[in-house]
Chains A and B, each alone.
Chain A
Amino acid sequence: GAGVSQSPRYKVAKRGQDVALRCDPISGHVSLFWYQQALGQGPEFLTYFQNEAQLDKSGLPSDRFFAERPEGSVSTLKIQRTQQEDSAVYLCASRLGWAGSTDTQYFGPGTRLTVL
């Protein structure tokens, strides 16, 4: 079956531009996560959705970062006024189970964002 897909795969932005990154989770998965992975580092948690509800946004680094999942399926991570330190790979993951579940999180291929 289809896995988690993300688009675009690569994005180059000039400093100060706004960007939107899209995630299509596995069909039927209740939970959706966003992570940020800097070069040579492990992924770092950004935010978590259960269906359309954003239950945890404790990892968002600043108020320039905003995520939504309005119909409980596709999610968008938006970064406003991008800065060079935002350059990273943004990973999306989905999980079948509800909050507190230890079901596997399945990751997409990521979007590599480069801010010039």
Chain B
Amino acid sequence: EDQVTQSPEALRLQEGESSSLNCSYTVSGLRGLFWYRQDPGKGPEFLFTLYSAGEEKEKERLKATLTKKESFLHITAPKPEDSATYLCAVQAYGVSGGGADGLTFGKGTHLIIQP
């Protein structure tokens, strides 16, 4: 069974204080790892897709990295508008090698950036 564990559950930072969020995963075979941002009362908003160990992607103050067992979302000099819940999800190969299209999500990290 595919599993995704995110840590910490919650994180409070001062504006400008950089940090990292962790996503550990266990899958039979990884097709892709996705990061989403979710604001209260809204649906998840896509940030990044990573496909293989060693891959990195950046967008503004966010940088996502991937190893064979985990992914990190690094937040550099965050601003209050970066406050949100960050969700990690995996898309795995099916047991028979076919595509498993539904994403398996972690519980998310609730990030608060204080001015």
- Of B43, B49, B104, which is within 8 A of A104 by CB? B49
- Of B36, B44, B49, B105, which is within 8 A of A102 by CB? B49
Cα(A106)–Cα(B44), bound, Å: 8
Instruction: Give A48's nearest chain B residue, CB to CB.
Output: B101
Instruction: Give A33's nearest chain B residue, CB to CB.
Output: B102
B1 to chain A, nearest CB (A): 12
Chain B contact patch, size range: 20 to 34
Determine if A100 and B107 form an interchain contact, defined as CB atoms under 8 angstroms apart. no
Cα(A58)–Cα(B2), bound, Å: 14
A3 to chain B, nearest CB (A): 9
The verdict on B69 contacting chain A, using a C-beta distance below 8 Å, is no
Cα(A33)–Cα(B91), bound, Å: 13
Question: What are 18 A-B contacts with C-beta separation under 8 Å?
Answer: A4-B43, A31-B101, A42-B107, A43-B103, A43-B105, A44-B105, A59-B102, A93-B43, A99-B99, A99-B101, A100-B98, A100-B101, A102-B31, A104-B46, A107-B43, A107-B45, A109-B41, A109-B42
